[in-house]
Structure 1
Amino acid sequence: MAMLPPGTTPVFVMNAAPERQSGRKAQISNITAAKTVADVIRTCLGPKAMLKMILDPMGGILLTNDGNAILREIDVAHPAAKNMIELSRTQDEEVGDGTTSVIILAGEILALSLPLLERNIHPVVIISAFNRALKDALSFIDTIAQAVDTSSDETMLAVIKTSIGTKFVSRWSDLMCKLALQSVRTVWTEEDGSKTVDIKRYVRVEKVPGGEIEESKVLDGVMLNKDVTHPHMRRRIENPRIILLDCNLEYKKGESQTNMEIVKEEHWARAQDIEEKQVDLMCEKILSFKPDLVITEKGCSDRAQQNFMRANVTALRRVRKMDNNRIARATGATIINRVEDLRDEDVGTKCGLFHIEKIGDEYFTFLTKCEKPKACTILLRGPSKDILNEIDRNLADAMSVARNVAFNPRLVPGGGATEMAISVELAKRSKTIEGVEGWPYRVVADAMEVIPRTLVQNAGANAIRVLTELRAKHATGEHLWGINGETGKIEDMKKYGLMESASVKIQTLKTAIEAARVLLRVDDIVQAKRADRDAGGQAAPPPEDMQGAMEG
């Protein structure tokens, strides 16, 4: 990096390929890019993690230590760096945690592969050894994993706490763990022996600035940012009968080819009467089921509002599709596309209380006290939008961990203990491998140490001394020993209470090694032809540089 004048903000620039790179040059370029991405978020691992402040183009700021949130925001141009950023997104989609670990591990594996390439070991040989190492590592995880009782609140809360302990909300970890567990338990369904925990569709996080963080809670039902359509409608109903619609409560206009010619005043009045009559018929059909509350995803005309108000029925309009699905799951109602198809069993009766409250300057609709709701809303309170957004990201990780344990109820020790155990085991097995393949196999073993090493470094302890102690413990088969991220010293993770979901570790290993294999397979980086080159007969100017610039 060039020297900068005093007072200048340093910007890390990765000089990537010029217009084309091939062979060794392309591989070195890719490895350098991957290593740089890993170095950016290396300090974000563990409970003593540093925060990153990211300035967005609009002038807003993002303060977080969540690997995925950071990498999602930074701007990169190098193709290999983009590939690395996709890793954390994959990890987040799949298991919701370990987004920082997967990038650090993939970067370390690639960095340690560079000396092998310089010794002219073919990438195919390296990849073959990586596959073998991954297979052995996964089988070893099975031997050290311990079963967990998912019905025990105490055990589940301890597991979720491992995810939140390194995040911003660790001060309120007990509250956040309870919110995550309660919401996952709410949407957890088992049918024909198969489990379903869809937190993306059926758990809604509603962030309302103001109040204290301790006021956050999981509602036994659904909350919407909506008010009634008419000011005279009821705002509080106990045990309401609810009808959910996905159709307009207005006159259905004709298609574009419909033509209506009006020559007299009475023709216009007649057209208006027909429109009103159609709306009246729709309302009559709905009111025949004696509802207390009608919710539609589309519009609700003035005429329909008037009819509902006379019948003492409350109406909400333009509710989002996802919200309507949650209401259906919570209240037992069925969403209807045509009013003519409405039946008595489609009416929702499982909601105990409908009421509207004003929080701050906005009105919120609450459908609570639901009987066995299969959808819920988490109401988050806090001092500002930035803090609420960070709490929301951390809570999403906590819910993902709870979901993972529900699907795969096995735990492994955290604090780098699992990685060190795999490292020691693979190093032992590498001695039995004959030929060149033993070196790349050993690379995976050495790379695994990056997680405990980074934890020690972030805690400000002496990495060499602590890792030597830890390696000695694991060499004698004490696989539960890991790094205490607060003190930087080694500790028994079971006694310390830091056990993590096995599915997160398995996914981290698979994703990191797969990424290393993909990037090692690349031997050419070529700029694609621009579409406008041949259009006007004159070639577009060639790109100055395939330059990877990272600013953050």
Structure 2
Amino acid sequence: MSKRKKDDDNDRVLIGTRIGEDHVNYVLMYNMLTGIRVSVSRCNAKPQRALVDEDFGAAHKLAFDITGNELTPSSKYDFKFKDYAPWVFRHLRQDFHIDASDYLVSLTSKYILSELGSPGKSGSFFYFSQDYRFIIKTIHHAEHKFMRKILKDYFNHVKQNPHTLLCRFFGLHRVKLPHGRKIHFVVMGNVFPPNRDIHETYDLKGSTLGRAISDEELNGNPRATQKDLNWVNKNKKLELGPEKRHRFVDQTKRDVQLLARLNIMDYSLLVGIHDIERGNRDNIRDNTLKVFQPDTSTPLPKETSRRDKRESKVTALRMAVKVSDPVALGPSTLPSDSFSERRNCIFYADDGGLLSTSEQNHSGQDLYYLGIIDILTPYNYVKKVEHLWKSLSQDKHAISSVHPKEYAQRFLSFMVHALKVNSDVLESLAPVQIFQDNATEERAENARLSSFIGAIAVGDLVKSTLGPKGMDKILQSASTGEVMVTNDGATILKSIALDNAAAKVLVNISKVQDDEVGDGTTSVCVLAAELLREAEKLVSQKIHPQTIIEGYRLASAAAYKALEESAIDHSSDTEVFRADLINIAKTTLSSKVLSQDKEYFSKLAVDAVLRLKGSTNLENIQIIKKVGGRLADSYLDEGFILDKKIGVNQPKRIENAKIMVANTPMDTDKIKIFGARIRVEGTGKLEELERAEREKMRAKVEKIKEHGITCFVNRQLIYNWPEQLFADAGIMSIEHADFDGVERLALVTGGEITSTFDHPELVRLGECDVIEEVIIGEDRLIKFSGVKAGEACTIVLRGATHQLLDESERSLHDALSVLSQTTQEPRTVLGGGCSEVLMSKAVDEVAAKTAGKQQAAIEAFSRALRQMPTILADNGGYDSADLVAKLRASHYDGNSTHGLDMEHGRVGDMRELGITESFKLKRQVLLSASEAAEMILRVDDIIRCAPR
């Protein structure tokens, strides 16, 4: 058997269950105590001196083995030990009035430790020293790092607050076993006394959500630690007289202010209550401790003594440990008095605790043992996500995981209400509430995190729709069940209900992008979200938001300059500019439902926009959707098509038409007698009333005819009698043209919408060469050709379903919007992630010239820009890391026109591939996203309240 195998066998015996379940950790405990004994003794042997800054980060290493060395004595086991900040903890022990020799004797004189049951919720083990004064607690590596980080603040707080209720730390160490993991542990003071039974124990956090143990659990274990709701339901109160109460509240405020400043939450006030009348007659302490100590004085069994003489003395000792039994720690071993050092603290002055007193300062029947414990949990990213996740289904102010400032305020408020005082005193102690009861407030880091997460969630929602291979979303109305299929960012965001304020900001910038340019609605949200994602990382590194904003401004300016320098203007060459427009349209439509026919629709959109002759008024372009046929059957028709039918007996074609566009009721030929009370002498009188109404309508039609019109278009209904009058006069009448229809018709024909007809000379009529009925599919429509606004035209969309036609209309509208804006701002840039990498490169160059924390912010801006081509590649199913790395390398090699060829999943020349975008679109995306990120970064308070 190999040496390593033999050692493993011995280890398995030592950590097995043969001796008892608690014997499993004896080797670890032996190594802990040996390391403490040697390291603390070495530090105490040196002359006293003042602390320096280096002491807080110091870490002294010691190596132990069975032979010993010049620094360490021989040990039963081989292990490595690290002592953190030994001088700091030496000073802390002195400040807490811990005698150096007593400390070592208590922990290491007999190597006796008692384990407190099973691991806690955090997975930590707790061990008591032989006299019950000290606790050794194993902690996670992250807790150890955090403790070292806050150690200086903790030390200064103890110096300024000798009566602090915070957990008292006496040492921080680490043990590393051979072939084993590193185990960090901390030595701290025990809140509870060794000489008194604790009849009730409470762990109070100030949170009431789920903070209770059931009656069944309590009946099964009366000594179980109870929680906040148990305290509230039992109407428990700390009975402290005025002087003690004032000191308790004041010290608690000081302590939680420190914890909030250090970004700590999830701590609690441990309350132990000893009923003086009951005393120790229940012998609770006997059942509290499970103690083990190997008895190496027990003779070895014969089979052990007859082992090979060559077996080492160390192995024999290990075998002695293996076969020994635990030595019980009985009541007689426990101290009969509390610890003398505790009497120096006002909260432990009454026999190691705080005696209850009345308002008249008369002594009560309870002794309280108080301490704020579990102070090594920072409000990190995990806790922030936990807060947001739980707040989706539960009251965000009641859950345990909240921002440290809110946690501190809630904790302090609960502790104040836990005191037995009258209402006047309670009001003076409670935190001031300035908002109404139905108002809520999120402050500082909590508000900023809420904003970050909300905005990032919106970006994550739409980023899968980005690019030529982006996916669609199905949106279904919860009330009507109506279904919409789209990948348009603005459409998605305006269709969903949001409760997060920052998310609504991103929805608004998407809407502005849609109004200003018509496309890039998804890009602006995604870029803003990525900027905030990077900012969140910087904030977690303690970089101030204002520093991030300043860096972002520098980066945005550099990015904009690079984008502007890369822009090209071909407006002086008609053919080249038309080709640019077609490429822009194809790039826009590549991510839309029309991507399969983008060549056809790009030319169609360019022809329509060029008819506008530089105008950006898309009202002159009518889009009509008719179910049937294929998308490729869509076409551009010169003139204006109204999706209405010509009435019965109406002229079907009119040349040189004079058109009146009106919004007037034409239904008074029907007398409304149902539901009305009319008293007449006979039916003849009723006929007279109807005849009067008809004559009134005839007079109205005659006034309309006096305008010299040949076509009457009304937004409202035209009933039978006036329709007949128009037909008799040879006038074409068109009813129920919707608001959009009459507005657009008035615009393209040069007329105006009228409602009164007494002054024909004041009414401007519309004109066109021909009005005729046309058939599209199975529907009859009315076409107005040769309209006064010669740029007017109609795009007729064909398709299989209404959803397809709706999405096609949105896609085409985006292309038309971008093209119309490009005719105003003719500069173009390259797409496919080329512009983003170009801007990222320029930003990196600025970062290299910037010193301090601003450099980190500028680099973060650059990373956010590079996320755009990364998302494009991800959505295409390509290896984004590889593609973007190659793209960056290509740019740094001088290929400034290279981008991602999403058709083939490679880096290509965007100019050769014709992947072009509008400069105005890219500029708007960059500036809007930067401004939105800056605005959200400035948020440090979110107040929700009802309107006044």
**TM-score, normalisation: structure 2:** 0.50
Deviation at 1:390, TM superposition (A): 1.5
Residue 805 of structure 2 is aligned with which of 385, 388, 398? Answer: 388
Q: Distance in 2 between matches of 1:426 and 1:358?
A: 54
Question: Counterpart in 1 of 2:343?
Answer: none
Residue 455 of structure 2 is aligned with which of 34, 48, 60? Answer: 34
Contact 1:298–1:317 (CA under 8 A) maintained in structure 2: yes
Q: Deviations over 1:374-415 (max 9, x none)?
A: 433322111111111111111111111111201210001100
Question: Counterpart in 1 of 2:725?
Answer: 307
The structure number with the bigger radius of gyration is 2
1:142 and 2:560 matched: no
1:478 alignment partner, SS class? coil
Change (3 A) 1:341 1:115: same
Question: Counterpart in 2 of 1:165?
Answer: 590
Q: Deviations over 1:157-196 (max 9, x none)?
A: 122111001222111112221332233233x25xxxxx53
Q: Distance in 2 between matches of 1:368 and 1:59?
A: 40
Question: Counterpart in 2 of 1:549?
Answer: none
Q: Deviations over 1:10-43 (max 9, x none)?
A: xxx9555824432122222322232232222222
Contact 2:669–2:719 (CA under 8 A) maintained in structure 1: no
Contact 1:412–1:501 (CA under 8 A) maintained in structure 2: yes
Contact 1:217–1:380 (CA under 8 A) maintained in structure 2: yes
Contact 1:206–1:379 (CA under 8 A) maintained in structure 2: yes
Residue 520 of structure 2 is aligned with which of 83, 88, 98? Answer: 98
User: Which deviates the most, 392-401 or 237-246?
Assistant: 237-246
Residue 439 of structure 1 is aligned with which of 856, 859, 868? Answer: 856
Deviation at 1:60, TM superposition (A): 4.1
Structure 1 segment 208-357 matched on structure 2, within 5 A:
208-229=626-647, 231-249=648-666, 272=690, 274-343=692-761, 346-355=764-773, 357=775
Q: Distance in 2 between matches of 1:316 and 1:86?
A: 39
Question: Counterpart in 2 of 1:522?
Answer: 939
Change (3 A) 1:232 1:275: same
2:615 alignment partner, SS class? strand
Contact 1:415–1:498 (CA under 8 A) maintained in structure 2: yes
Deviation at 1:249, TM superposition (A): 4.5
Question: Counterpart in 2 of 1:368?
Answer: 785
Residue 616 of structure 2 is aligned with which of 197, 217, 226? Answer: 197
Contact 1:65–1:167 (CA under 8 A) maintained in structure 2: yes
User: Which deviates the most, 416-425 or 400-409?
Assistant: 400-409
Q: Distance in 2 between matches of 1:90 and 1:27?
A: 24
Question: Counterpart in 1 of 2:167?
Answer: none
Contact 1:326–1:376 (CA under 8 A) maintained in structure 2: no
User: Which deviates the most, 24-33 or 485-494?
Assistant: 24-33
Q: Deviations over 1:64-94 (max 9, x none)?
A: 3322233333444333233323332222222
1:63 alignment partner, SS class? strand
User: Which deviates the most, 469-478 or 513-522?
Assistant: 469-478
Q: Distance in 2 between matches of 1:148 and 1:125?
A: 40
The structure whose RCO (Cα within 8 Å, separation 6+) is larger is: 1
User: Which deviates the most, 478-487 or 37-46?
Assistant: 37-46
Deviation at 1:516, TM superposition (A): 1.0
User: Which deviates the most, 272-281 or 485-494?
Assistant: 272-281
Q: Distance in 2 between matches of 1:466 and 1:251?
A: 71
Q: Distance in 2 between matches of 1:319 and 1:97?
A: 30
Contact 1:456–1:489 (CA under 8 A) maintained in structure 2: no
Question: Counterpart in 2 of 1:22?
Answer: 443
Deviation at 1:276, TM superposition (A): 3.8
Q: Distance in 2 between matches of 1:304 and 1:448?
A: 64
1:340 alignment partner, SS class? coil
Contact 1:34–1:80 (CA under 8 A) maintained in structure 2: yes
Q: Distance in 1 between matches of 2:776 and 2:832?
A: 45
Q: Deviations over 1:504-526 (max 9, x none)?
A: 11111111111111211111233
Question: Counterpart in 1 of 2:506?
Answer: 84
Contact 2:773–2:780 (CA under 8 A) maintained in structure 1: no
Q: Deviations over 1:493-540 (max 9, x none)?
A: 111101100011111111111111121111123332588xxxxxxxxx
Residue 486 of structure 1 is aligned with which of 898, 903, 906? Answer: 903
Change (3 A) 1:307 1:50: closer
Q: Distance in 2 between matches of 1:225 and 1:301?
A: 19
2:664 alignment partner, SS class? coil
Q: Distance in 1 between matches of 2:638 and 2:620?
A: 12
Amino acid at match of 2:448: Q
Question: Counterpart in 1 of 2:312?
Answer: none
Contact 1:45–1:454 (CA under 8 A) maintained in structure 2: yes
Q: Distance in 1 between matches of 2:716 and 2:492?
A: 37
Deviation at 1:290, TM superposition (A): 4.2
Q: Distance in 1 between matches of 2:606 and 2:391?
A: 45
Q: Distance in 1 between matches of 2:681 and 2:944?
A: 66
Question: Counterpart in 2 of 1:156?
Answer: 581
Contact 2:750–2:789 (CA under 8 A) maintained in structure 1: no
Amino acid at match of 2:615: T
Q: Deviations over 1:240-259 (max 9, x none)?
A: 33222233446699xxxxxx
Contact 1:239–1:352 (CA under 8 A) maintained in structure 2: yes
Q: Distance in 2 between matches of 1:457 and 1:265?
A: 80
Change (3 A) 1:345 1:219: farther
1:196 alignment partner, SS class? coil
1:175 alignment partner, SS class? helix
Q: Deviations over 1:222-250 (max 9, x none)?
A: 22232234x21122334433222233446
1:178 and 2:603 matched: yes
Change (3 A) 1:54 1:372: closer
1:53 alignment partner, SS class? strand
Unaligned runs of 5+ in 2: 1-387, 398-440, 671-677
Contact 2:616–2:821 (CA under 8 A) maintained in structure 1: no
Amino acid at match of 2:493: L
Contact 1:240–1:354 (CA under 8 A) maintained in structure 2: no
Residue 397 of structure 1 is aligned with which of 811, 814, 830? Answer: 814
Count of equivalent residues: 506
Question: Counterpart in 2 of 1:117?
Answer: 539
1:247 alignment partner, SS class? coil
**TM-score, normalisation: structure 1:** 0.83
Q: Deviations over 1:30-67 (max 9, x none)?
A: 22232232222222222222233334324443333322
